[in-house]
Amino acid sequence: MIDIVIDARMLQSSGIGSYLQGLIPLISAKHNITLLVSDKDHEIYSRYRNVDTVICSSPIYSIWEQVELPLKIPACDIFWSPHYNVPLLPVRAKKCLVTIHDVFHLAFFVTLPPLQKLYAKFILHAAARYSDMIITVSGFSKSEIIKHLNVKETGIRVIYNGINSEDYKMLDNKVLSDTENTLSLTDKYILFVGNIKPNKNIKSLLQAYASLLNQGFTGYDLVIVGKKEGFITGDSEVVRMLEDNAILKEKVFFTGHINTSDLPYIYNSSSLLVLPSLYEGFGLPPLEAMACGCPAIVSNIASLREVCGEAAYYVDPYNAEDIASGICKVLGDEPLRQDLTARGLERVKLFEWKKSAKEHM
């Protein structure tokens, strides 16, 4: 068995947390794993074999983690960082791997505050320079890493994310009815899953939804899985739009933090997922939606075309009216909805955590 140390402090985050939760149980079944975890997460993986935990209490992206990580990482064959915040000082590992999911911070450099610009540019280049191998999640992200970080193609490996088919699947009406009461979901809703950072383009989604409401298209609420407040790098204009528009304020619902175990029920109950992102490294929500029988509208951008193939309805993310038209089209055309649902259920079969874990090992 190989001794692997994984920085798992982001277990509870929405994107990287899903990535870790999908891979760690499978990798730990065949190798000795030590997880660096925050003090609130150290019990989560006690049920998996070959897993030890080391508490690392330093905040993510802080200067303190650069002091603590080299001290806490034990001697191992491989140290793997699932995010770009790698230790800058030497660690006791024979090889260091890093997963760079995307280079949004460099691609959207001008949108960042000055300190974030400095940190992102420095740490991303450091992650590429100090790692023996870079893992990324799509061919698009690989091309972006080569472009922005000047990395040789041979130093990057593309391994797609996966879907947990035991959790993300179509559920029967009885189960959904019971869960809807527990989660207080509305009867009919359009769904967005993610955060309010600028690349997620919620502004255009809200503009599209407002346009539909003004045209009398009032039968569906908009449910946003995520928090409206608390994102340091969030899009403040989104918050202002919601505060200033009485109709949106009444029809748009933020769920706040949702347990991962509740997401399949939310997808199953949704009429439609919309992901109008300007930039994604992979884009997991459309696949999660497809696995639950929920049709997806996504941006016509390279990464989402790579992931979704012919199983999604594509719109121009820079055109709110095109997004509105797409929503109207998919909700109003039952044969199209059924076709997208069938294509989606087939598409997700290509993305399994078992396959992803095997390629990681």
Residue 175: how many CB atoms within 10 A of its CB? 12
What is the structure's pLDDT at 236? 67
Confidence of residue 29 (pLDDT cuts 50, 70, 90): confident
pLDDT band of 345, cuts 50, 70, 90: very high
Give 235's pLDDT tier (boundaries 50, 70, 90): low
Q: SS in 3 state form for the chain?
A: CCEEEEECCCCCCCHHHHHHHHHHHHHHCCCEEEEEECCCCCCCCCCCCCEEEEECCCCCCCHHHHHHHHHHCCCEEEEEECCCCCCCCCCCEEEEEEECCCCHHHHCHHHCCHHHHHHHHHHHHHHHHHCCEEEECCHHHHHHHHHHHCCCHHHEEECCCCECCCCCCCCCHHHHHHHHHHHCCCCCEEEEECCCCHHHCHHHHHHHHHHHHHCCCCCCEEEEECCCCCCCCCCHHHHHHHHHCHHHHHHEEECCCCCHHHHHHHHHHCCEEEECCCCCCCCHHHHHHHHCCCCEEEECCHHHHHHHCCCCEEECCCCHHHHHHHHHHHHHCHHHHHHHHHHHHHHHHHCEHHHHHHHHC
Give just the sign of the alpha carbon dihedral 80, 84, 87, 90. positive
Give the position of tokens 């698009």.
140
* Mean pLDDT of the region 52-74: 92
Per-residue pLDDT band for 103 (boundaries 50, 70, 90) equals very high
Q: In the predicted model, is pLDDT for residue 201 greater than 70? A: yes
Residue 111 pLDDT class (50, 70, 90 cuts):
confident
Q: Do 3-163+353-360 and 173-350 show the same overall fold?
A: yes
> How many alpha carbons fall within 13 Å on the CB side of residue 277?
27
Question: Domain limits of the chain?
Answer: 3-163+353-360, 173-350
User: What share of the chain has pLDDT > 70, as a percent?
Assistant: 92
How many other CB atoms are found less than 10 A from the CB of residue 70?
14
Q: Is the pLDDT of residue 131 over 90?
A: yes
pLDDT bucket at 184, cuts 50 / 70 / 90 = low
- Tell me which residue has tokens 């400095």: 118
Q: Both tokens of residue 305?
A: 């075309």
**pLDDT of amino acid 108:** 82
pLDDT of residue 232: 44
pLDDT(340) > 90: yes
Which CATH fold topology does 3-163+353-360 show? Rossmann fold (3.40.50)
CA distances from 140 to 103, 133, 154, 300 (A): 10, 17, 15, 13
Q: What confidence score (pLDDT) does residue 196 get?
A: 79
Give yes or no for residue 76 having a pLDDT over 90.
yes
Strands of the sheet containing 189-193, edge to edge, are: 252-254, 221-225, 189-193, 272-275, 296-299, 313-315
The predicted pLDDT at position 341 comes to 98
Contact present, 137 and 281 (Cβ < 8 Å): yes
- The confidence band for 17, taking pLDDT boundaries of 50, 70 and 90, is confident
Q: What angle do CA 149, 150, 156 make, to 5 degrees?
A: 80
pTM exceeds 0.85 for this model: yes
Pick the CATH number of 173-350 from 3.40.50.2000, 3.40.1010.20, 3.40.640.10, 3.40.50.2300: 3.40.50.2000
* Average pLDDT value for residue range 331-338: 96
Query: Which residue's entry shows tokens 């009406």?
Result: 173
The overall average pLDDT reported for the chain is 89
pLDDT of 229 strictly over 60: no
Averaged pLDDT, 176-192: 73
Quick check: 353 pLDDT over 80?
A: yes
For 283-333, how does the pLDDT look when each residue is reduced to its tens digit (9 = 90+)? Answer: 999 999 999 999 999 999 999 999 999 999 999 999 999 999 999 999 999
Q: Residue 288: CB partners within 8 Å, gap ≥ 6?
A: 163, 168, 193, 263, 264, 267
pLDDT tens-digit readout, 236-279: 677 777 777 778 888 998 887 787 888 999 999 999 999 999 99
When pLDDT is averaged across residues 128-147 and rounded to a whole number, the result is 96
